[in-house]
Amino acid sequence: MVHDVFVLMPAYNAGATIEKVFARIPAGARRRITRYVVVNDGSIDETAAALARLQTRYPNLTVLTHTQNQGYGAAEKTLLACALREKADVGIILHADGQYSPECIPELLRPFDEDTADLVQGSRMLDGGALKGGMPLYKFIANKSLTAIENATFGMKLAEYHSGFMLYSKKTLESIPFQKLSDSFDFDLEMIVMARVKGLRIVEIAIPTVYAGEVSHLRPIRYGMKVLSVVWSYKRQKYARLCE
């Protein structure tokens, strides 16, 4: 069983949701979490005040601050660098908007406990959960279409590549030069691609899909173009060169 488990949370204008996300983390998972690390990524709402309240209840919560918004990928780099520096066994990327279910943390940790994974993705597309959970049809079709292209290009058979509920082992963080990757929302995809190039073990676990009015900062068309850019870069051996 892995021991030093870090919850890593990028937070941008999450003042209305982040405390609710912490409250939903199950007791069994809390007992396993060594540290919570949150990056306040240039928020202009009440995120800082919410984090101050959380620190009075969670003494193992570390708050890092980007004075200006640097982007989702940049926030993840700060978080992963902290996890690597502090020698976390597993880093769990948990979003502050509540769209990904903290209740799933024990199940997502299981492949690490069993030493069958180096990277785990919580997948909304397994077991038909996406549409049941209210994923808009256009997002479902776009996800499936991009995934078909990605599987054909990367030689894998994943149900999706676009979930932000990601877990990384210490080995993965030591193996992948993640500071060289995107500062935007395609960072998670690039991490999967780099894991593929490195021959690391990738496991998907089904998670529920939740669409209940959360505010997303992802622009679908722009994101789709970035995904296709990653595909093209992979074909041109960019990620293989990053490993050299």
pLDDT at 53 over 70: yes
The DSSP bridge pattern shows strands 90-93 and 33-41 to be unpaired
Tokens of 82: 């902290």
Q: What is the structure's pLDDT at 52?
A: 98
* Residue type at 111 in one-letter notation: P
- What is the band of 230 on the pLDDT scale with cuts at 50, 70, 90? very high
Instruction: Determine the pLDDT at residue 6.
Output: 98
Read off the pLDDT of each residue in 206-224 and give the average, rounded to a whole number.
71
Q: Report CA 78 to chain centroid distance, whole Å.
A: 13
Eight-class DSSP state of 103: G
Three-state SS at 173 = helix
Residue 32 has, within 13 A of its CA and on its CB side, a CA count of 22
User: What is the band of 133 on the pLDDT scale with cuts at 50, 70, 90?
Assistant: low
Using the predicted structure, report yes or no on whether residue 226 has a pLDDT greater than 80.
yes
The DSSP 8-state label assigned to residue 192 in this structure reads H
Torsion angle of alpha carbons 204, 110, 187, 24, nearest 10°? 110
CA 191 to each of CA 62, 76, 205: distance values in angstroms, whole numbers, following the listed order: 24, 11, 17
Note the residue count of the chain: 244
Domains of the chain (ranges plus CATH)? 5-242 (3.90.550.10)
Find the mean pLDDT for residues 131-144: 79
Any idea what DSSP says for residue 102? G
pLDDT at 212 over 60: no
- Both structure tokens of 230: 């990653």
pLDDT of residue 139: 83
